[in-house]
Amino acid sequence: MRTGVTVRHSPDCAIFLNANNFAMGSLLALSEGMRTLGMLLTLLAVVPQATIDQKLAAPEGTTIVAAQVTGFDIDRLSPGLREEIRSLAGTPLKQQRLDELAARIEAERPRHVAAVRTVMEPDGQARVMFVVGRSGESDPDDNVNARYIVEEAELTGVPEAEVSQALRDELQGLVGKRLDSGDADRLQERIENELPNYEVSRRIRRGSERGRIRLLYEARKRELPSWLRFESLRSNALFHSEQGWGTYLDLGIGDRNIRFTPIVAWDYADDLVEEYSGYGLRFETRKLGTRRLGASLEYSWFDTDWRTPTLGALTFKPEVPRPYTSRSTITPLLKFALSPALNVAAGVSISELEPLFPESASRMANAAVASIAFGQRWKDGSHATHNAEASFGVRAGSRQLESDLAYTRYLGQGSYRYDLGRHHVQATGMAGAITGHAPLFERFTLGDSSTLRGWDKYAIAPAGGDRVIYSSIEYRYTGLALFLDVGSVWDENSERKVRVSTGFGFHAGPAFFVVGFPLNTDNLSAIVTMGLRIPGTGIRW
């Protein structure tokens, strides 16, 4: 049996009780009639009536456009419950499920009652509101210490000047009375609201004599959010039907401000012209005295292999620097945050390239590195999440840095991601150019597991290119993805050909399986990529 009540306002203020449209949680289902009615009226006072009075309750099966909690800060619910409420968006309305969630809100917050209200939006979708209000004052206190008298109530960790007189009065108002957990909860909420920069905890201690207790609120200044980000982790193990297997593992180990990242790669060819195997270590700090300033230092050594098409293409491109048998790089960088969303980085990248043919000497590819990056994530009223990122970087190899190769490489990238329940849309784009004689690891490629899926990079531009332009759009519904990729990679003095591909993919946790088809070609053959992507693997101490 489902328990529920709907209250409709009419000109004569009659109240109708309807068991189908207004579902209540377990506490309502169990509690006495009169108290329930009183709570209901309290709850309804919380609902923005003017906006929903004229709207009909949504029927079973209607797609939920958004789910929200009113009358209570959703962040005070457990993460699991918050996630379950938010993930209702995009799913069909099931009253029983909503009732269960309301019951869970009440279970987590026993001094509150929760009701579910669903309304039809003009577009035929349903909006779900969990209306939460405080239950009656007559609730028995379930804390055994409620029989003791509070002899002292104290707030510590906050300078006197930051505490209002009203708050102090309220604190003192608890002294001399028996402990009331409800009052103590309310006061804690009040302190948290008045002092948003502090985390407040509460504890009770024995008082000076038996039967008396001390109520202690302890405030601790919240740690300010970091303005600088660590380098993105991108561990993956991939299979590409034309390029074979490759693995790149990076494991972040550290705390909030410092991170060490060991890196290992085996036969990895997904991002560069070369296929490389080797190791590296990156150290990063995102707080050097201030959260605006950070630094990183990365060392890596990779043994390189070259595909036959690449070596073949290079014989026709004498202007491109020769391939190498190994590459070791050290990259110190300083990072500065202009704002939480915008930061800049500068440093040098010193690379030594061991020649493929022993008779040649090793070559240095030393470059000054500078970049600016923007990243912002926000939510809108419909609980959709937006994530926008953009970056522009310059790498300039210079004789002044004792580089044997002089070049300049520019690369701009951007991405936007929209998430609403099970619907996800991602758009990405990039454009880049190289002037001078850049080493092969700097050259652009397209046609791998994440760009121009459906094409093989060793068929498009086996030696890479010094120009690139690319964009992609992908829609995902839970784990099913559809995409369209468009891009071109070419050399400045050669013909530019735009390639298009489309396809679909399945994503389940870290595992993915993608099939891409090249479109503007006579050779319509599918390319399959699959494997595991674990973008945030790490250990925090």
Binding residues (CB under 8 A) for other proteins: these are 27, 30-32, 76-81, 83, 104, 107-108, 110, 140, 142-145, 148, 181, 201-206, 210-211, 213, 251, 509-510, 534-540
Three-state secondary structure readout of 371-383: EEEEEEEEECCCC
Closer of 55 and 82 to other proteins (Cβ) = 82
Two structure tokens written together for 22? 């207004």
Say how many Å lie between the first and final Cα of the chain, rounded. 49
Min CB(36)–other proteins separation in Å: 11
Q: Which of 475, 469, 478, 375 is nearest to 426 (CA)?
A: 475
Closer of 161 and 210 to other proteins (Cβ) = 210
Q: Give how far the C-alpha of residue 410 lies from the chain's centroid of Cα atoms, to the nearest Å.
A: 27
Closer of 120 and 146 to other proteins (Cβ) = 146
Min CB(141)–other proteins separation in Å: 9
Closer of 524 and 540 to other proteins (Cβ) = 540
Min CB(84)–other proteins separation in Å: 10
Min CB(520)–other proteins separation in Å: 37
Amino acid at 149: I
Min CB(207)–other proteins separation in Å: 9
Q: Give dist(CA 68, CA 499) in Å, integer.
A: 44
What is the DSSP code string of 193-225?
HH-TTEEEEEEEEE-SSTTEEEEEEEEEEPPPP
Min CB(184)–other proteins separation in Å: 9
Two structure tokens written together for 328? 């070791």
Q: Give dist(CA 533, CA 407) in Å, integer.
A: 33
Closer of 406 and 532 to other proteins (Cβ) = 532
Closer of 205 and 317 to other proteins (Cβ) = 205
Q: Which residues does 377 contact at the CB level (< 8 Å), separation at least 6?
A: 385, 386, 387, 388
Burial class (CB in 10 A: 0-12, 13-18, 19+), 4: buried
Instruction: Spell out where 71-120 has E strands.
Output: 112-120
Q: Is the dihedral of CA 64, 68, 69, 70 positive or negative?
A: negative
Q: Give dist(CA 258, CA 2) in Å, integer.
A: 52
- What count of Cα atoms within 13 Å lies in the side-chain half-sphere of residue 416? 6
Closer of 214 and 467 to other proteins (Cβ) = 214
Amino acid at 221: K
Closer of 36 and 300 to other proteins (Cβ) = 36
Give the angle 141-144-148 at the CA atoms, nearest 5°: 95
CA torsion, ordered 204, 209, 210, 214, to nearest 10 deg:
-10
Min CB(66)–other proteins separation in Å: 20
Q: Which of 303, 296, 359 is nearest to 331 (CA)?
A: 296
Q: Give dist(CA 44, CA 281) in Å, integer.
A: 58
Closer of 145 and 408 to other proteins (Cβ) = 145
Min CB(160)–other proteins separation in Å: 25
Min CB(268)–other proteins separation in Å: 19
Min CB(65)–other proteins separation in Å: 22
Closer of 11 and 79 to other proteins (Cβ) = 79
